[in-house]
Chains A and B, each alone.
Chain A
Amino acid sequence: MTRGRGFFRWSVLVAGFVFLYAPIALLVIYSFNASRLVTVWGGFSPRWYIALLDDRQMVDAAFISLRVAFVSALFATALGTCAAIALARLGSFRGRALFAAMVMAPLVMPEVIMGLSLLLLFVALDAPRGFWTIVLAHATMGMCFVAVVVRERLEGVDRSIEEAAMDLGASPAQALLRVTLPIAMPSILAGYVLAFTLSLDDFVIASFTSGPGSTTLPMRVYSQARLGVSPEINAISTVMIGFVAALLCVHALARASRRARD
């Protein structure tokens, strides 16, 4: 390994991560800008955060988003965990290829397709659109991400422990609840956090499936962002980024302390 190649590698990494993080950093920095002009620095000020608190619609939208994310991530985690166990532990079954494809497809499917088709389903079923239709849509999207995370964990663990439990007289249900689930638990929690943030951040699918009175935070941010850059959007974006970052930190710390205890 020559020194020249090492230098090249580190400069690639630095350039790459600057590209990934600079736009987010600039957005955060300019949310503290005293000036209304978003590209001219006018001194430090928290005024846009104070203005946010007075924006009733924005605060309402934030609470709707949090509620949707909380509930939809519960469904997503339960269903995604089931799907992961089915794919990782049940071996072959009729319709496995279709099932595996359906679990994977929403990861890459353009969101407009998912949003439009779900909306047409809800219209066909005459379901009133609002909180619950967004929850159903987000649960469907989230469960696929949960399934990927949990399945990866289960496939990395030897099945022999579960087989030993059944040899010792545990029923398949007991083996599932007392052996498989505890093994998968860290990944199930990680899956919940992922489904929660995906729901909190989603704009396209929520736009199709929401109804009057259930405008989510990204929808509110979008309708203002279309009018151009404004320091208030920078401020609410910074709050959202900070919230998710805090969530991830809590999750990582909880995980680390659990590991230390074991």
Chain B
Amino acid sequence: MISHRAWSERLVLIAPYAWLAVLFLAPFAIVIKISLSQSALALPPYTPVFDWRAGPDAWIAGVREFSFAAYASLAEDALYLDSYLSSLRLAATATVLTLLVAYPMAYAMARAPARWRPVLVTLAIAPFWTSFLIRVYAWIAILKDEGLLNHALIALGLIAEPLHVFGTDWAVQIGIVYSYLPFMLLPLYNAIARQDASLVEAAADLGAGPVAQFWKITFPLSLGGVLAGALLVFIPAVGEFVIPDLLGGSDTLMIGHTMWTEFFDNRDWPTASAATVVLLALLLPPLALYDRSRRRATEQPT
């Protein structure tokens, strides 16, 4: 219990706790509050409905003035519904694609000679240290119609006409796979590398071929890593802004991008806030799942 702790122990707990309460939790309350106000041509561009200093009577009056106009406009505007659906679809497809790229790599890393493994893990994490923006930007020059990929493919005689990838949903998916690959690689690698090698040997002794060894033992035992990696890619990808903005086309719809436009260009803060609340609500189930899988991994009884 907290009251019996030394002051130093209280400090290490209370400092980060208070910080996160003010700068992580409280902002969500404010987002919810503003999503319930009406937009106005003012600065800040919404009518405040709630003044914390005004006292209980004014609070009740404020609650009466809560407006669901922003949520109504979300529901009426097909742009929003399409953005949510399209974000979920793009993020889900890209997550599957990332898994397909990452699994063979993680498997090869985990089965590489032991002295190579730290080098391979470092190589897999290193791109994470370079700017996300720059890594996405690098793909513009590759994917453009007159870009490096089309130059190379035409020079090799594989295609006659340039492929039109840049500015499509495909470019967005390539961008997500590329940017989030390290997040998928690490949990998969950990899940495969810590498996007991004798299990596969036992299966081989009992006559299982390589394919059966993989599907009956290695893969099922790595499912925890698959889930963790998929969530680490899917959750941030749903709200992605930079990738659809730089690689997508005018018909690419993603909710992070729609919110950004609503907020910065249309200056409709209540609608942007309502869109954020809905996005957060959509992401709560995967976030809870992530929290649970993380707790299972880190807080096992010792």
Query: CB-CB contacts of A183-200 with B at 8 A, as 1s and 0s?
Result: 000000000001001001
Residues B244-260 near A (CB distance < 8 A): 245-246, 256, 259-260
Q: Across the interface, do B24 and A102 meet the contact criterion of CB distance under 8 Å?
A: yes
Query: CB-CB contacts of B109-133 with A at 8 A, as 1s and 0s?
Result: 1011000000010011011011111
Is the CB of A56 closer than 8 A to any CB of chain B?
A: no
The interface stretch among B6-14, B56-64, B69-77 is B6-14
- In the assembled complex, the Cα of A107 lies from the Cα of B232 at a distance in Å of 8
Most buried by B among A30, A101, A105, A108: A108
Is the CB of A39 closer than 8 A to any CB of chain B?
A: yes
Q: Which residues of B contact A53 (CB under 8 A)?
A: none
Q: What distance in Å separates the Cβ of B49 from its nearest Cβ neighbour in chain A?
A: 12
- In the assembled complex, the Cα of A155 lies from the Cα of B17 at a distance in Å of 20
- In the assembled complex, the Cα of A225 lies from the Cα of B136 at a distance in Å of 10
Q: What distance in Å separates the Cβ of A1 from its nearest Cβ neighbour in chain B?
A: 9
Among A5, A110, A123, A229, which residue has its beta carbon within 8 angstroms of that of B238?
A110
Is the CB of B203 closer than 8 A to any CB of chain A?
A: no
Q: What distance in Å separates the Cβ of B247 from its nearest Cβ neighbour in chain A?
A: 11
- In the assembled complex, the Cα of A47 lies from the Cα of B40 at a distance in Å of 49
- The total of chain B residues at the interface (CB under 8 A) is 91
Q: Which residues of A contact B108 (CB under 8 A)?
A: 8-10, 12-13, 16
The interface stretch among B78-86, B216-224, B273-281 is B273-281
Q: Across the interface, do B26 and A121 meet the contact criterion of CB distance under 8 Å?
A: yes
What is the chain A residue whose CB lies nearest that of B11?
A82
Q: Which residues of B contact A83 (CB under 8 A)?
A: 12, 16
- In the assembled complex, the Cα of A117 lies from the Cα of B8 at a distance in Å of 31
Q: Across the interface, do B112 and A9 meet the contact criterion of CB distance under 8 Å?
A: yes
Is the CB of B140 closer than 8 A to any CB of chain A?
A: yes
Main SS class of interface, B: helix
Q: Which residues of B contact A104 (CB under 8 A)?
A: 290-291, 294
| Chain A: interface size category | 35 or more
Q: Across the interface, do B28 and A112 meet the contact criterion of CB distance under 8 Å?
A: no
Is the CB of B2 closer than 8 A to any CB of chain A?
A: yes
Q: Which residues of B contact A256 (CB under 8 A)?
A: none
- In the assembled complex, the Cα of A106 lies from the Cα of B24 at a distance in Å of 8
Q: Which residues of A contact B105 (CB under 8 A)?
A: 12-13, 16
Is the CB of A203 closer than 8 A to any CB of chain B?
A: yes
Among B8, B132, B295, which residue has its beta carbon within 8 angstroms of that of A172?
B8
Query: CB-CB contacts of A25-65 with B at 8 A, as 1s and 0s?
Result: 01100100000001100000000000000000000000000
Q: Which residues of B contact A222 (CB under 8 A)?
A: 133, 242
Q: Across the interface, do A121 and B101 meet the contact criterion of CB distance under 8 Å?
A: no
Among A39, A136, A194, which residue has its beta carbon within 8 angstroms of that of B147?
A39
Is the CB of B19 closer than 8 A to any CB of chain A?
A: yes
Q: What distance in Å separates the Cβ of B18 from its nearest Cβ neighbour in chain A?
A: 10
Q: A95-B17, A176-B8 are in contact. Are A233 and B30 (CB under 8 A)?
A: no
Subset of 12 A-B contacts with CB under 8 Å: A8-B108, A12-B107, A23-B138, A27-B138, A39-B151, A82-B11, A104-B291, A109-B235, A111-B241, A121-B30, A229-B144, A240-B131
